[in-house]
Structure 1
Amino acid sequence: MDLRQLRCLIAVADTLHFGRAAQKMDMLPASFGRQIKLLEDSLGSRLLVRTTRHVSLTEAGRSFVEGARDIVARADRLEAAFRAEEQDRRAVLRIGAIDSAAAGMLPQLLPHLRRAHPEIEVEIFEQKTIRLLPRLLSGRLDIALVRPPESRDPRLRFRTLFHETAVVAVPEGHRLAKHDAVTVGDMADEPLIVPDRRSRPHSHDLTMKLFLEAGYSARVVQIAEEKQTIVSLVGTGVGLAIVPKWASRLAVDGVAFVPLTLPSDTVRDKLSLSAVWLRDTRHPARSAFLDVLEAQLVELAETA
């Protein structure tokens, strides 16, 4: 008798249906049935009565399942307590971050965290939003800094931080490079480099919607994925690109970054950045990080 067998029995007791119980346990029906049989064989007693249309607990099964629930619940509490203690002892914080946060925000924030909490060890995993959210749900990350998706998983808690300013990356010799600011109209006939929408929907849509709202059609000549690649292509004269302000920190020769002026009634000159973590989970190091972030938020927003 083991915990997996007890969990299978509880699933049957809750659903009174082998197929649904197997699905709940993420098992094939045949494998699920074997677990129940092994449990009955080890006890020397039938726990279930099963026909083609009906599943029910025997009297022995009804008595046994209550004890099984208690054992499984205690085992789950023991595991959760152990993990919490281990987490407190290690004080490791695994942060996922999109490129904006990894290059623009975390270098400013982490020195404050180290001064306030030198005991916290930080591990950073840089990826796109669509790759970070599954890692949060699986427990491989403790917190992530992302572009909030249109559809949000209810298991995740989002905290909007600030909106990043968009600028235009142009070749240094370009006619717009010496402007104090440019408008979408100034770029109306210019070739554009935009991110791949499948991996960077926010950045892609920013460019397309800005042109659409201004009454122009974006003249896209190149799709690229990484900001470093996009800015490098600008430097070779392939085209212009609308990028977050932090990208101006990339050391790419031959590229100028010019502020983008937009009508006052638009908010699409901004790119939203959010912190996100798994709901109903306790993590002292994450809480400490959020406290430091909250204290530095105004300063971070001013430089975004």
Structure 2
Amino acid sequence: MDLHQLRCFITAADELHFGRAAQRLEMMPSALGRNIRLLEDDLGTRLLTRTTRSVALTEDGGAFLKEARDLLARADHLATGFRERVRARAATIRVGAIDSAAAGLLPALLHDLRTHHPEVTVKLVEDKTIRLLPRLLSGRLDLAVVRPPVSADKRIDFMPLFHETAVVALSERHPLASRKRLTIADIAEEPLIVPERRSRPHSHDLTMKLFAEAGLDANVVQIADEKQTIVNLVAAEIGVAIVPRWTQRMAARGVCYVPLKVSGMNRLPLAAAWIRGTRDPMRDQVLAMLQGNLERYRKEA
């Protein structure tokens, strides 16, 4: 017994005419009759009697009809509810982003997404790469914009986006604050505030690498975890910091940002990440939007 057989029987019982019932179900009368016979064989009893002139319910058919209606109604209700649930989920995309992407890239991307897909709700989670990738793997995120790790989980696909420019954050009262551009040699003697490596390996390693390549030792005086904390420490004249350009958008009185001259390789990478081998139409549209507008997003970030 299956739901299609039940639907055939209920429609035939409603119409008491195989031709009309078959028309309602958009099938041939012979196919309708075959499905009802299969149902009767499965139940071991006749449900309908049929002559050349009439169709009638048997006693067993009448008893079975109410139960069949209830069962089919419950099945239809279940299917409708689940389809609505899937549609609601499809209209929501869960995006994770590191602070750099949330401040620089995401505003432009979400503006375009709202313009072209106003029906889509974006649930945004801002965190560090080391916390976003496990959420992606567990299914709690559909997409993440992160710093790609050196040793990435093979279950994750990455799409490189762009490299962010580094700048030097200094107190406005600092003697170097008026410069239009700085080199590592210019800040060789300056006390440095650097991110904690465990949570921000790319930013930490970039600072240390730049000094190492210049043949200089980094004078690290303070480790801090959050960008806002680093900027506040700079404002308090604890030291200077090498930060992504987007940090200039953070509200911090008494801080200025000077471009840092570095080679093309010494920049902070940004990439989109998702679970390899999965299909998600909404996520794929967002990825296509990212790819198609990448140059504009890079300039706006």
TM-score (normalizing by structure 1): 0.70
Matched ranges for 1:192-231 at <5 A: 192-231=192-231
User: Equivalent residue for 2:98?
Assistant: 98
User: Equivalent residue for 2:259?
Assistant: 259
Distance, in Å, in 2 between the alignment partners of 1:278 and 1:83 is 24
Number of residue pairs matched by the alignment:
220
Deviation at 1:287, TM superposition (A): 1.4
In the TM superposition, what whole-angstrom CA distance separates every residue of 1:227-269 from its partner, at most 9, and x where no partner exists? 011011100100000000000111100000000012x4x511x
User: Equivalent residue for 1:28?
Assistant: none
Q: Match of 1:274, as an amino acid?
A: A
User: Equivalent residue for 1:73?
Assistant: none
Deviation at 1:84, TM superposition (A): 8.9
Distance, in Å, in 2 between the alignment partners of 1:87 and 1:178 is 56
Alignment equivalent of 1:298, drawn from 258, 274, 295: 295
| Contact persistence 1:137–1:278 (CA under 8 A) | yes
In the TM superposition, what whole-angstrom CA distance separates every residue of 1:207-245 from its partner, at most 9, and x where no partner exists? 001001001000000000010110111001000000000
Cα 1:84–1:252 change in 2 (3 A) is farther
Q: Match of 2:222, as an amino acid?
A: Q
User: Equivalent residue for 1:164?
Assistant: 164
1:175 aligns to 2:172 (yes or no): no
Deviation at 1:292, TM superposition (A): 1.7
Distance, in Å, in 2 between the alignment partners of 1:87 and 1:249 is 38
User: Equivalent residue for 1:234?
Assistant: 234
| Contact persistence 2:105–2:300 (CA under 8 A) | no
Distance, in Å, in 2 between the alignment partners of 1:281 and 1:87 is 16
| Contact persistence 1:87–1:283 (CA under 8 A) | no
Q: Match of 1:194, as an amino acid?
A: V
Q: Match of 1:110, as an amino acid?
A: L
| Contact persistence 2:95–2:124 (CA under 8 A) | yes
1:284 aligns to 2:281 (yes or no): yes
Deviation at 1:88, TM superposition (A): 3.8
Distance, in Å, in 2 between the alignment partners of 1:227 and 1:246 is 11
In the TM superposition, what whole-angstrom CA distance separates every residue of 1:29-72 from its partner, at most 9, and x where no partner exists? xxxxxxxxxxxxxxxxxxxxxxxxxxxxxxxxxxxxxxxxxxxx
Q: Over aligned residue pairs, what C-alpha RMSD do you find?
A: 1.6
* Runs of 4 or more consecutive aligned structure 1 residues displaced over 2 Å after TM superposition: 82-90
Distance, in Å, in 2 between the alignment partners of 1:294 and 1:85 is 30
1:248 aligns to 2:245 (yes or no): no
Distance, in Å, in 2 between the alignment partners of 1:175 and 1:156 is 46
Distance, in Å, in 2 between the alignment partners of 1:163 and 1:205 is 15
Distance, in Å, in 2 between the alignment partners of 1:106 and 1:208 is 28
Distance, in Å, in 2 between the alignment partners of 1:228 and 1:199 is 15
Matched ranges for 1:57-68 at <5 A: none
| Contact persistence 2:98–2:146 (CA under 8 A) | yes
| Contact persistence 2:108–2:300 (CA under 8 A) | no
In the TM superposition, what whole-angstrom CA distance separates every residue of 1:89-123 from its partner, at most 9, and x where no partner exists? 43110000000011111112111100100111000
Matched ranges for 1:69-148 at <5 A: 86-90=85-89, 91-148=91-148
Distance, in Å, in 2 between the alignment partners of 1:135 and 1:84 is 25
Distance, in Å, in 2 between the alignment partners of 1:281 and 1:86 is 19
Structure 1 gap segments, 5+ residues each: 1-81
Distance, in Å, in 2 between the alignment partners of 1:158 and 1:85 is 31
Deviation at 1:83, TM superposition (A): 8.2
- 2:103 match: secondary structure: helix
User: Equivalent residue for 2:76?
Assistant: none
- 1:238 match: secondary structure: coil
Cα 1:95–1:83 change in 2 (3 A) is farther
Distance, in Å, in 2 between the alignment partners of 1:294 and 1:119 is 21
Larger radius of gyration: 2
